[in-house]
């Protein structure tokens, strides 16, 4: 069944169209004035002023490896993050810890640990799956590079972004 949409009945003021134009121009003028005198604060002048201070607690930025307070790389090269990673951005080549190492009982360490930041989708699954609390998504968001090779974060770069994490479980330390 066809529905007849009733057209609104306009009074003469609406039909003459000019008051609407003038009130519209008053609105844009108000926006213009507020912007001109700096009363509207919307824009962040990006390179000078950054998001860093306003970042929410749950922000997921670049993934990074962390060291604990003893200076140990927390990753044990279990490769769970490599398997869980949806875009397969992570590549780990494990190595064996020498028997005279202080943490020899850990047995494995990541010899190479690359994250391809072109592929990474910042989903945070690596952080979620990690049994060792070794990989975390930090708040870095401006990941740039001139080549594809530049965009692959190797172990040094990941550790540099990650830094030292405090307040995590230290299960591999010697028992007191």
Which of 88, 104, 110 minimizes the C-alpha distance to 162? 110
Please name the residues in contact with 113: beta carbons below 8 A apart, sequence gap of 6 or more. Answer: 65, 75, 77, 90, 91, 92, 93, 154, 155, 158
Contact 132, 161 (CB under 8 A): no
Stretch of residues binding other proteins (CB under 8 A), selected from 27-35, 74-82, 114-122, 141-149: 27-35
Stretch of residues binding other proteins (CB under 8 A), selected from 32-40, 90-98, 111-119, 167-175: 32-40
* Among residues 2, 3, 42, 149, the one that binds other proteins under rule CB under 8 A: 42
25 touches other proteins (CB under 8 A): yes
12 touches other proteins (CB under 8 A): no
Place of tokens 């974060």: 153
CB of 166 to other proteins, least distance (A): 40
**Separation CA 55–CA 132 (nearest Å):** 26
CB of 140 to other proteins, least distance (A): 24
Q: Does an H or E element contain 153, and which?
A: strand 152-153
104 touches other proteins (CB under 8 A): no
* Among residues 10, 19, 27, 69, the one that binds other proteins under rule CB under 8 A: 27
**Separation CA 58–CA 125 (nearest Å):** 14
The residue among 28 and 144 lying less far from other proteins, judged by its C-beta, is 28
* Among residues 13, 14, 19, 24, the one that binds other proteins under rule CB under 8 A: 24
């Amino acid at each position: 069944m066809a529905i007849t949409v009733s057209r609104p009945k306009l009074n003469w003021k609406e039909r003459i169209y000019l008051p609407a134009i003038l009130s519209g121009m008053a609105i844009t003028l108000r926006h213009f004035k507020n912007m001109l005198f700096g009363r509207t604060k919307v824009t962040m002048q990006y390179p000078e002023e950054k998001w860093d201070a306003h970042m929410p607690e749950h922000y997921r930025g670049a993934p990074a490896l962390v060291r604990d307070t003893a200076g140990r790389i927390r990753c044990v090269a279990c490769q769970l993050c490599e398997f869980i990673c949806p875009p397969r951005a992570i590549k780990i080549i494990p190595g064996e810890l020498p028997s005279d190492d202080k943490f020899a009982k850990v047995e494995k360490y990541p010899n190479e640990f690359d994250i391809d930041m072109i592929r990474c989708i910042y989903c945070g699954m690596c952080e979620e799956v990690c049994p060792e609390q070794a990989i975390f998504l930090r708040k870095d968001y401006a990941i740039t590079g001139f080549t594809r090779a530049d965009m692959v974060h190797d172990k040094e770069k990941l550790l540099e972004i990650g830094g030292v994490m405090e307040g995590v479980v230290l299960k591999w330390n010697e028992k007191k």
